[in-house]
């Protein structure tokens, strides 16, 4: 079982994050929940129940998304020339390396789910739409497939850049077909994405990809620096991860002719949950269960990644931060013992708790953007809320 990541854990009252990281909490006149066992039990039960309900809603949403979007996605990929199609189908989990059919897509389809959920929230208000249900609207489905194709373009390239050997419990495409071929397949998937959408949607998707590339450029540059700040890391995460989730929400809104202000608000919603997604991903990169994540224990630490929990810990100016810096400065591959040392140092320096708290704060900010979105039916945003909740509770 995966170790709890701690998402939603707040800093103790009057405490604060690692020294120099985030504001200290304000004093509260409320009695400490730890002093009231009955209240504590009720709070824990309510939190667990809310998480279970949100997870069930999100699972149902993503199941409907898969049923609606996968045929469009398969039809698009089938138009690729033979070898490029084979690499794309392998990467997506549809086929094995020898071309034998596996039958299921690998990813969760979170981003297409956001497209459909955003379109539904707008169409329910009666402001946009073309008379079809949002989830059956061909333009919505094309946008959802385009987002997933663009996402997998980034994954194929990321795996080559990071030299990752495993994704979704399988060898990465570049290790099977070669780096050059995996890059070309990724390029072809991006071209498919842009071919599926037109007009403002295509322009927005293209701008999003440029922003992602800028974020990836910064991420690579950070690996060569010892002075990366937390603000720089958060900005990079907003580009590398937040931009695509924001674009997903915006494309869903555009597909049903939403008000421009609603498109902007949904983009901001997606960007915030995107940063929460990255924070959770970074936590999983250190403390995730390999049986669930498909990646080795402490994989991000072994690669000396300047992930958000690591940079938060290094910013703490504490003994644990100093120990982490010394381990990261080693000029060789880490031993298992050194990976454990680094993991423990990140936690002791407050990096784990800060990342969990920041993820929860980003989700709260995302919901605030959603409440202010004009032309969005607030009674129909449950799928957006459920996906946002799933992002910080996921284990893979």
pLDDT truncated to tens, each residue of the chain (396 aa)? 444 454 443 333 223 445 444 433 333 333 443 455 665 455 434 443 444 466 788 888 899 999 999 999 999 999 999 999 999 999 999 999 999 998 766 788 999 999 999 999 998 766 544 434 677 799 999 999 999 999 999 999 999 998 989 888 899 999 999 999 999 999 999 999 999 999 999 999 999 999 999 999 999 999 888 899 999 999 999 999 999 999 999 999 999 999 999 999 999 999 999 999 999 999 999 999 888 877 777 888 988 889 999 999 999 989 999 999 999 999 889 999 999 999 999 999 999 999 999 999 999 999 999 999 998 888 889 999 999 999 888 877
Domains, in order of start, for the chain? 35-393 (1.10.600.10)
Are 119 and 179 contacting, i.e. CB atoms less than 8 angstroms apart? no
* 360-389 core/surface letters (b: 16 or more CB in 10 A; e: else): bbbbebbbebbeebebbeeebbbbbbbbbb
Tokens of 352: 């784990």
Are 212 and 237 contacting, i.e. CB atoms less than 8 angstroms apart? no
Tokens of 271: 């960007």
Cα–Cα distance for residue pair 242/234, rounded to 1 Å: 10
The dihedral region occupied by 9, where left means phi > 0, alpha psi between -120 and 50, and beta the remainder, is beta
Q: For residue 109, what is the DSSP state? A: -
Query: Tokens 């597909």 sit at which residue?
Result: 255
Cα–Cα distance for residue pair 167/295, rounded to 1 Å: 7
| CA 365 to each of CA 59, 120, 275, 276: distance values in angstroms, whole numbers, following the listed order | 23, 21, 11, 10
Cα 389 versus chain centre, distance = 12
Burial group, residue 391, by CB count within 10 angstroms (0-12, 13-18, 19+): buried
Q: SS3 breakdown of the chain: % helix, strand, coil, rounded to 5? A: 70, 0, 30
pTM of the entire structure?
A: 0.84
pLDDT, position 185 = 98
Are 385 and 273 contacting, i.e. CB atoms less than 8 angstroms apart? no
pLDDT, position 377 = 86
Q: For residue 166, what is the DSSP state? A: E
Instruction: Tell me how crowded residue 358 is: count the other CB atoms within 10 A of its CB.
Output: 22
* End-to-end C-alpha distance for the chain, whole angstroms: 12
């Amino acid at each position: 079982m995966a170790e709890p990541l701690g998402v939603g854990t707040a800093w103790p009252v009057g405490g604060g994050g690692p020294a120099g990281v985030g504001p200290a909490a304000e004093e509260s006149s409320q009695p400490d929940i730890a002093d009231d066992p009955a209240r504590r039990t009720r709070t824990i039960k309510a939190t667990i129940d809310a998480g279970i309900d949100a997870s069930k809603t999100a699972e149902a949403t993503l199941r409907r998304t898969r049923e609606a979007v996968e045929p469009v996605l398969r039809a698009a990929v089938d138009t690729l020339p033979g070898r490029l199609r084979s690499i794309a189908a392998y990467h997506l989990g549809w086929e094995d390396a020898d071309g034998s059919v596996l039958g299921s897509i690998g990813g969760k389809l979170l981003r297409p789910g956001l497209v459909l959920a955003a379109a539904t929230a707008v169409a329910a208000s009666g402001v946009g739409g073309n008379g079809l249900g949002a989830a059956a609207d061909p333009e919505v489905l094309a946008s959802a497939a385009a987002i997933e194709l663009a996402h997998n373009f980034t994954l194929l390239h990321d795996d080559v850049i990071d030299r990752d050997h495993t994704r979704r419990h399988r060898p990465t495409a570049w290790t099977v077909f070669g780096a050059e071929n995996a890059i070309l397949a990724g390029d072809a998937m991006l071209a498919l994405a842009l071919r599926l959408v037109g007009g403002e949607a295509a322009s927005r998707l293209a701008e999003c990809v440029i922003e992602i590339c800028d974020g990836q450029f910064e991420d690579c540059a950070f690996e060569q620096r010892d002075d990366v700040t937390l603000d720089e890391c958060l900005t990079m995460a907003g580009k590398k991860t937040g931009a695509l989730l924001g674009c997903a929400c915006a494309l869903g809104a555009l597909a049903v002719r939403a008000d421009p202000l609603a498109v902007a608000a949904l983009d901001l919603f997606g960007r915030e949950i995107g940063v929460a997604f990255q924070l959770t991903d970074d936590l999983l990169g250190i403390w995730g269960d390999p049986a669930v994540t498909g990646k080795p224990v402490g994989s991000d630490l072994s690669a000396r990644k300047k992930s958000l929990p690591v940079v938060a810990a290094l910013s703490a100016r504490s003994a644990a931060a100093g120990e982490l810096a010394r381990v990261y400065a080693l000029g060789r591959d880490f031993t298992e013992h050194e990976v454990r040392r680094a993991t423990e140092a990140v936690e002791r320096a407050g990096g784990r708790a800060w990342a969990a708290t920041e993820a929860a704060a980003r989700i709260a900010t995302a919901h605030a953007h959603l409440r202010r979105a004009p032309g969005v039916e607030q009674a129909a945003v449950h799928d957006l809320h459920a996906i946002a909740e799933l992002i910080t509770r996921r284990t893979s």
